[in-house]
Amino acid sequence: MELVYILDILGTLAFAISGALVASDQKLDLFGVIIIAFVTAVGGGMLRDVLINAHPINWIGDLNYLYVIFIAVLLTFLFKSKILPLSKTLFLFDTVGISVFTLLGLQKGLNFDLHPLIALIMGMISAVFGGVLRDVLTNKIPLIFEKEIYASACLAGGITYLLLKKTPITDNLNFIVSASVIITIRLIAVKFNLELPKVKDDIFGK
Amino acid sequence: MELVYILDILGTLAFAISGALVASDQKLDLFGVIIIAFVTAVGGGMLRDVLINAHPINWIGDLNYLYVIFIAVLLTFLFKSKILPLSKTLFLFDTVGISVFTLLGLQKGLNFDLHPLIALIMGMISAVFGGVLRDVLTNKIPLIFEKEIYASACLAGGITYLLLKKTPITDNLNFIVSASVIITIRLIAVKFNLELPKVKDDIFGK
Amino acid sequence: MELVYILDILGTLAFAISGALVASDQKLDLFGVIIIAFVTAVGGGMLRDVLINAHPINWIGDLNYLYVIFIAVLLTFLFKSKILPLSKTLFLFDTVGISVFTLLGLQKGLNFDLHPLIALIMGMISAVFGGVLRDVLTNKIPLIFEKEIYASACLAGGITYLLLKKTPITDNLNFIVSASVIITIRLIAVKFNLELPKVKDDIFGK
């Protein structure tokens, strides 16, 4: 699917820019910014491919990922003050990227004959682990562990995809519907500032 | 060995609960708790399998690990106030888990025709790296680097296993003896609050 | 090339001692010091080999790496007060190690038929990722992201190697010239306290 590849690349661009912005706020040097942009953008898919033994792994098998990351760092380096006001556009790219990463990761898992549950996890790793690595390398508790609901959005979208796969609808339509589920949940969650429950208290209220 | 598999699963349960407890103390959300429970429980075996190229890796090849982790998180989420008083029971499961993880990891290394020294390291990685990953992801210096003597217990048990392997005793008996070495050392170390020496000073007392 | 192997081992020794010194400053116990020395010394090559699927990975395929790391920890443990005044010697070993790690990693990438750009990245991962892992495990923002110019030195040396490979000069001479580029840039950078630019401001001066 050509369109999916373009969305994958746009998502990679958004992830890389978000990584570069975080890194530059931390006063890392140019090399540090490139590494953080890199792990943010391709870290999730890289971990997935290492875990399922899919060689060559994502960015080794397709150089376009690297080129997009270099472009992202260059844009951030040159136009940081122009990019920041675009945060809504970036957020949209990022949300589309997450949905595409989740579903492509899930599909790759299924293509490797993994159990649907494992494939679902691979989809989620693809979508969220780049951000986790970014936060570990910049020495913060991963954001996603604290208040981001977007892992749940990926989960819901992935489950939708697996369920619809058992129906007669085409794979392309399934992809679009499931991606819409992820995008919709994330947009609603951010708009209404939703959070997942914490394990502070148990059902006995203690 | 059926019994070893049951102990492996019980150890995984204990590791996952300990991870979930740490994560919930850090006020992570449900998703964060699941991830931390997951890496604590299967992170060591996962790293071992990636390093020795043993695919499918542990939790991809056997779904029971995932199920046990989900149960552990559910138990922690629902009954946290009831679980905390069970810390001695959990500590026992955890200690048994460490001994079983060490010896199973070592055996797997030997089955992959690795040098005994490498196999020994694989056993230790299996036992301790889940905790290291848990600490890295929750942004702490890994506990084991600072005062836990249990890596030494794993080392002693692993060496025992390798030495007894050269004698005529059966592999099952060897497993039991070596596991007992690990469990005994850990219990004694915790009881008497033993620590490994630090490299603050050298033999010249400076 | 015999000489390159000796330099590789000397570089590993220097990396392991530097890791052990950092770890002992953090008051880690003996086990923690061994782990930090280990990841500092072989972490970069280990990551490279996992990513390009080169099994057995570096320290599993050649036990000498482990022996050198044990010797480094022993030396640090016994003679810490005697080693510290040798920091210039260590720095020299370390710089030679970086140059050799970069070029050996690059060559390995080329031998695996990777694109030269990917091979170049593999060279850099080999040289710098041990230090990154050391810093992540000791809970610091990786030093190299903040002010070390030595990644740039590795990059320059790697590009030199790739360019000279297209000329008729022998591979040995190419190795020596490219390593000299890395060593020279690093020595000059440290001497004049050079830094890479940061992304604080953009070209519009904001």
What the block records as the tokens of C179 is 């390593």
Which residues of chain C make contact with A28, given a CB cutoff of 8 A? Answer: 141, 145-146, 198-199
Mean pLDDT of chain C: 85
Subunit partners of chain C (3 or more CB pairs within 8 A): A, B
Boundaries of every domain in chain C? 2-192
Q: How far is C150 from chain B (nearest CA, A)?
A: 25
Subunit partners of chain A (3 or more CB pairs within 8 A): B, C
pLDDT of residue B40: 93
Residue of A133, A130, A125, A108 whose CA lies nearest to A41: A130
A191 pLDDT above the threshold of 60: yes
pLDDT of residue B97: 85
B11 pLDDT above the threshold of 90: no
pLDDT band of A141, cuts 50, 70, 90: low
> Which of B162-166, B192-196, C56-60, C105-109 shows the lowest mean pLDDT across its residues?
B192-196
pLDDT band of A196, cuts 50, 70, 90: low
Return the residue in A25, A26, A30 with the most chain C beta carbons within 10 A, the one to mutate for interface testing.
A30
Q: How far is B155 from chain C (nearest CA, A)?
A: 10
Which residues of chain B make contact with A53, given a CB cutoff of 8 A? Answer: 53, 55-56
Chain B residue with minimal CA distance to C138? Answer: B141
pLDDT of residue B196: 58
pLDDT of residue A11: 86
pLDDT band of A202, cuts 50, 70, 90: very low
- Using CA of residue A50, residue A52, residue A53, residue A54, what is the dihedral sign? negative
pLDDT of residue C73: 92
Which residues of chain A make contact with B52, given a CB cutoff of 8 A? Answer: none
> Which of A27-36, A107-116, B162-171 shows the lowest mean pLDDT across its residues?
A27-36
Find the mean pLDDT for residues A139-154: 69
pLDDT of residue B206: 40
User: What is the Rg, in whole angstroms, of the alpha carbon atoms belonging to chain A?
Assistant: 17
Which residues of chain B make contact with A195, given a CB cutoff of 8 A? Answer: 29
Return the residue in A132, A146, A195, A199 with the most chain B beta carbons within 10 A, the one to mutate for interface testing.
A199
Q: Do B144 and C81 touch (CB under 8 A)?
A: no
Subunit partners of chain B (3 or more CB pairs within 8 A): A, C
What the block records as the tokens of A114 is 């993994």
Which residues of chain C make contact with A81, given a CB cutoff of 8 A? Answer: 202, 204, 206
pLDDT of residue B4: 82
Return the residue in C30, C73, C140 with the most chain B beta carbons within 10 A, the one to mutate for interface testing.
C30
Instruction: Give pLDDT tens digits for C89-137.
Output: 777 777 888 899 999 999 999 999 999 999 999 999 999 899 888 888 8
Q: DSSP letters along chain C, please?
A: -HHHHHHHHHHHHHHHHHHHHHHHHTT-BHHHHHHHHHHHHHHHHHHHHHHTT-SS-HHHH-THHHHHHHHHHHHHHHHHHHHGGGHHHHHHHHHHHHHHHHHHHHHHHHHTT--HHHHHHHHHHHHHHHHHHHHHHTTS--GGGTT--HHHHHHHHHHHHHHHTTSSS-HHHHHHHHHHHHHHHHHHHHHHT--PPBSSS-TT--
Q: Do C195 and A32 touch (CB under 8 A)?
A: no
Q: Do C35 and B145 touch (CB under 8 A)?
A: yes
pLDDT band of B19, cuts 50, 70, 90: confident
Q: Do B204 and C82 touch (CB under 8 A)?
A: yes
Instruction: Give pLDDT tens digits for C5-44.
Output: 888 898 899 889 888 888 887 777 788 889 899 999 999 9
pLDDT of residue C147: 52
| Chain C positions with Cβ closer than 8 Å to A | 50-53, 114-115, 117-118, 121, 132, 136, 139-142, 144-147, 151-152, 195-204, 206
pLDDT of residue B195: 59
pLDDT of residue C140: 72
pLDDT band of B120, cuts 50, 70, 90: very high
B103 pLDDT above the threshold of 50: yes
Instruction: Give pLDDT tens digits for C160-190.
Output: 999 999 999 999 899 999 999 999 998 888 7
Instruction: Give pLDDT tens digits for A36-72.
Output: 999 999 999 999 999 999 999 999 999 999 999 999 9
pLDDT of residue A203: 44
pLDDT of residue B156: 94
C144 pLDDT above the threshold of 60: no
pLDDT of residue B1: 57
From the list B51, B195, B199, the residue facing C60 with the nearest CB is B51
Find the mean pLDDT for residues B183-198: 75
> Which of A61-75, A116-130, B67-81, C153-167 shows the lowest mean pLDDT across its residues?
B67-81
Q: How far is A202 from chain C (nearest CA, A)?
A: 31
Return the residue in C17, C29, C36, C69 with the most chain B beta carbons within 10 A, the one to mutate for interface testing.
C29
> Which has more pLDDT, B27 or C166?
C166
